Structures are given as C-alpha cells and as structure tokens.
Structure 1
Amino acid sequence: MAEISKLEQIVASLRGKHGCPWDKKQTSQTLKKYLLEEVYELIEAIEEEKTEEVKEELGDVLFILVFLAHIYKEQGCFDLEKVIDLVSEKMIRRHPHVFGDIRTNDIAEIRARWEEIKDSEKPERNSVLDGISKALPALTLAYKIGEKAAKVGFDWERLEGVLEKVAEETQEFKRALNTNNIEKIKEELGDILFSWVNVARLLKIQPEDALRQTIKKFKRRFKLMENEFKRQGKSIQNASLEEMDAFWEQIKKQDDIS
C-alpha cells in the first residue's frame, strides 16, 4: 500500500494550497471524461499487446481513480481505504468457492452463484434488467440486457430464430427508408443493430470486440491503400472512387491470403 499512499500524497499536494490550479479546479463531474479517455487508451494498449503502454495506461487510470477518491474524501463522503475495504469484502463474498466452504470448478455454476449473490446485495431492484449501467457503450448495454432477459427464458431457442428476426427488421428498415421519416428510420436501424447484438450473444461473441476488430482491420487496409497511392506518386484526395475500389479489392485479397 506504500505506492498507493505515495499517489494519494501527490494528489493531495496537487489539490493543496500551493498545488496546481487545474487540479484544484477539478470535480468528480469534470473527471468523468478523463477517466473514460484513459480507460479506452488502456483498452487500446491491451488490444495491441503493447506491454509498456499497458503499464503506463494502467497508471493513468489508477491516478484518476485515486484523484476521484480524494475528491470524495474532501467532501467528507469516504476515503480510498473505505473503497478498498468495500471491494475486498465484496470479492470475498462473491467467491465462496475460493474463500468459503463451497468447492466447484464449474464456470457456469460459479457465474450463476455470482449473479445470485449480486442480486441479493440489491434487494430493492424491481426488474431483472435493473443494475445495468446506462453509461455503458450501446453495444455492450444491448448485450447485457439480452443476457438478463435470457436468464428468465425470454430468448430465442435457436440461432436461426434471431437470424430470421434480423431479416424481418431489415425489411422494416427498407420500408422506413421510403417514408423519409428520419425518426422512423433511426428506430428501425436501432432494431436491426439490437437484433445483430443478439446474434452475437447467442454465438458468445462480444459485439464491441467484434466491431473494434473490424475497425482495426479497416484502418489497416485504408492506410495500405493510402500508401499504395503515395507509392505511385498520387494523392488519395484526388483519386476517383473507381481507383480506390480497385486498390481496396487488391489489398483485401492480399490481406485475406496472409
């Protein structure tokens, strides 16, 4: 804990009388966006398997968390020690197969018991969908809502069923396009996305991960296309769509082979 204490002391100095004007100005509300940015930078470093960057980004996330805890301490709410005690107690309580008398290595059983314990901690919840953060990215939020609904049996029995739902929603989207009603079009597009998330869920694929992987692939191929234009002494800004399509298909084929 000496290292955490050191970080707490740094934050206290930054917030102190002779501290940094910017740090003293921060609140729990203003720090939200910085926390989100740092978490996404950490995720990127993990995805790219850059160990040194992971180490650095973990530190940045930890700093913001200590900063937040210090702000609440200033307000007389709680301190970092209370945060650590609370999460420690919770992790011990939710792992009875490790810290208690229950012995099992069955992952499904462990997950089910985790959810039971978690639900028992929040008896005031009125819906099986309660307890899911509305601040989650939409794809992850949709996935978790689908999971919760499935636990009470509200789910497709077969993958084919949800694929039929995707086809049905796609037809409704096409009909909406003919109305020129942007709100209706947006609604139907959302229905298609939600249906595809359920396809991912039944396949046990995280849609957020799948989409990020595709974005990464698109960026890599697009940069290769830019480099190909440069190699030929051309600029992608002045290229025609036909030229870009030709290069794209060439890069795609090479990428698929490799």
Structure 2
Amino acid sequence: MLKNTRNLLAIMARLRHPETGCAWDVKQDFTSLMPYVIEEAYEVADAIERNDPDDLRSELGDLLLQVVFHSRIAEELGLFDFEEVSGAICEKLIHRHPQVFSDTVFNSDEERHRAWEQAKALERQRKNKTVEQDSVLAGVAGNLPALMECEKIQDRAANYGFDWSEVLPVFDKVREEMEEVREAWESGDQAHIKEEIGDLLLVVVNLARHLKVNPEIALKESTKKFSRRFQYVERQARASDRDLRDCDLAELDAFWNAAKKALMKR
C-alpha cells in the first residue's frame, strides 16, 4: 500500500479512537456525514470547472477523506474496510471493461455503451431482492440533482428502446408541453401548473440527451452567464447613481442588451 494511503488510514483510525480521538470525529456516523460527501463532490466539480489543478488536488483529498471516513466507520461495525472498498471497485472496473481486460472487441461506441449498460444491469440484478428493484430504473440515486436524476432515468429507459429514434419529434413534444403549461396557467390551478412545468422540464432534458448536451452542465453555465449579465446591469445602474428598483423595465432591458453585447465572448 502507498505510504500516504497508509498514513491517511492510520490518521483516521486515531481520530476515531473512542478514548484518545477527536470528539467530533468519534460521534459521526454514515448519516451525519452524508451532507459532507455531497458537498465535497460539488467542490471537486467546482475546481474542475475553474480549471484550478492545485485546488482540484486539495478537493480530491477532501473527497477521499470522506471515503476513508465511511470505510473506517464500516470497519468498526464489522461491515467492510477500505481494502474491500478498493477491491470492489477494481472488480467492477474489470467486469465493465472486457475490451481492456479480455479479448472482447467492440466495433462502435454504441456497441461498447450497450455492453457497459448490460454489465451494470447484471450487477444490479445481483444486488436487488424485490420486484420493485428488478426494474431497469432501480439503482438511480434518489438524492441526485433533479436534472441528473432525470437524465439517468431516461438513459436507462432509452437503453431498452423506450425513446424517440430521432430528435425532431422531441422538438414537437417540447412545443406540446409548452402549450400544456400555458393551458394550466390559464386554469389557475397551481398544482396542475407545477405538474406541467415538471413535464416540460423532463422533455427538455430529453431534448438535451438527443442533442448530446449534459443538461446539468448546460443549466449551470447558463446560470453563470445570467449572473455575469445581471451584475453588469447592477453596475450600469450604480453608474447612474440609482438603485435597480429605481430603474423602469425599459431601462433594465436596455442595460441587459448592453450586457449581452459587452460580455458576448464570456
């Protein structure tokens, strides 16, 4: 085992020692640590988006700490240890890459992707015990961000033929759902409006899939673009010695159009 890995495991064991360890670390369990796992994963993603390798190295370490922390708790409970975690992912990677670790040959990316999904399906079948879990949708984490969960579920369904074969009908479906949102709005039924907005978002995710766009990343980038432009609008308002609330909509719209031109390349 690598020296730093041994040190990390030893440090965690010491932190978790019931008598001489850190009181905070000792009282943690799987549930209490769950928010930190999610937070650290997002901080890794943020470092990647900012193209900051030094911060990425640091954030990957923080994420690794969560893996070691959970593994240590599991070891104390007699469930598994870090070595078993490493062994499980090694086995999974070998099983999912027969083109690398055996003589299997894939003739296209589509063929490789189908084999990947079939391997994952077999893994789920080994784990699942109930009829509900036998669903091809079983195993998609329910606490994923909504766009990511939606995309993964649609991908699963598409792998079993439940999908449009081309993109044009998806455009039609987006227009159909837009009209249904409008009809729900005209009805004044808030619950129905929420339902139709959800349906619209779902089919937009489907459109993103067909166009080979990651909807989570696309929305995040558009949100950042909106923020940059809105901050430009704020600066323009301050330059005229006014608060945003003192500007009428026409002025704000003019500031916004100026922002689009000024920040076009950003």
TM-score bracket, shorter-length normalisation? over 0.9
* Pairing 1:162–2:164 present: no
Give the secondary structure class of the aligned counterpart of 2:204.
Answer: helix
Partner of residue 90 from structure 1, selected from 89, 92, 115: 92
Give the secondary structure class of the aligned counterpart of 2:103.
Answer: coil
Quickly say closer, same or farther: Cα 1:104–1:152, change in 2 above 3 A: closer
Partner of residue 30 from structure 1, selected from 9, 29, 32: 32
Shift in Å, 1:247: 1.4
Count residues in correspondence.
258
Shift in Å, 1:98: 0.8
Shift in Å, 1:233: 4.2
CA distance in 1, matches of 2:83, 2:174: 49
2:157 is matched by which residue type in structure 1?
Answer: A
CA distance in 1, matches of 2:152, 2:84: 29
1:129 is matched by which residue type in structure 2?
Answer: L
2:219 match: 211
CA distance in 1, matches of 2:224, 2:73: 37
Quickly say closer, same or farther: Cα 1:31–1:153, change in 2 above 3 A: same
User: Cα deviations across residues 154-213 of structure 1 (Å, max 9, x unaligned)?
Assistant: 212332211111111111111111232221111111000001011001111110011011
User: Cα deviations across residues 2-50 of structure 1 (Å, max 9, x unaligned)?
Assistant: 2122111222222222222222221110111111111111111101111
1:62 match: 64
Superposed CA RMSD in Å reads: 1.9
Shift in Å, 1:234: 4.0
Preserved CA contact (<8 Å) 2:114 2:159: no
* Pairing 1:11–2:19 present: no
1:65 is matched by which residue type in structure 2?
Answer: V
CA distance in 1, matches of 2:235, 2:64: 38
* Pairing 1:145–2:153 present: yes
CA distance in 2, matches of 1:105, 1:157: 21
Give the secondary structure class of the aligned counterpart of 1:156.
Answer: coil
CA distance in 1, matches of 2:168, 2:62: 44
Partner of residue 77 from structure 1, selected from 73, 79, 90: 79
1:25 is matched by which residue type in structure 2?
Answer: K
Structure 1 residue ranges (4+ consecutive) displaced by more than 6 angstroms after TM superposition: none
CA distance in 1, matches of 2:195, 2:39: 29
User: Cα deviations across residues 58-85 of structure 1 (Å, max 9, x unaligned)?
Assistant: 1111111111111111111010000001
Partner of residue 222 from structure 1, selected from 208, 215, 230: 230
Quickly say closer, same or farther: Cα 1:232–1:150, change in 2 above 3 A: same
CA distance in 2, matches of 1:66, 1:105: 39
User: Cα deviations across residues 98-126 of structure 1 (Å, max 9, x unaligned)?
Assistant: 11122347322222211122222233452
Shift in Å, 1:240: 4.2
1:195 is matched by which residue type in structure 2?
Answer: V
TM-score, normalised with respect to structure 2? 0.89
Quickly say closer, same or farther: Cα 1:8–1:240, change in 2 above 3 A: farther
CA distance in 1, matches of 2:102, 2:26: 44
2:138 match: 130
Which sections of structure 2, spanning at least 5 residues, go unmatched?
A: none
TM-score, normalised with respect to structure 1? 0.92
Give the secondary structure class of the aligned counterpart of 2:264.
Answer: helix
CA distance in 1, matches of 2:10, 2:248: 58
Give the secondary structure class of the aligned counterpart of 1:256.
Answer: coil
Quickly say closer, same or farther: Cα 1:238–1:34, change in 2 above 3 A: farther
2:115 match: 113
- Higher mean alpha-carbon deviation, 5-14 vs 208-217, is at 5-14
Quickly say closer, same or farther: Cα 1:231–1:5, change in 2 above 3 A: farther
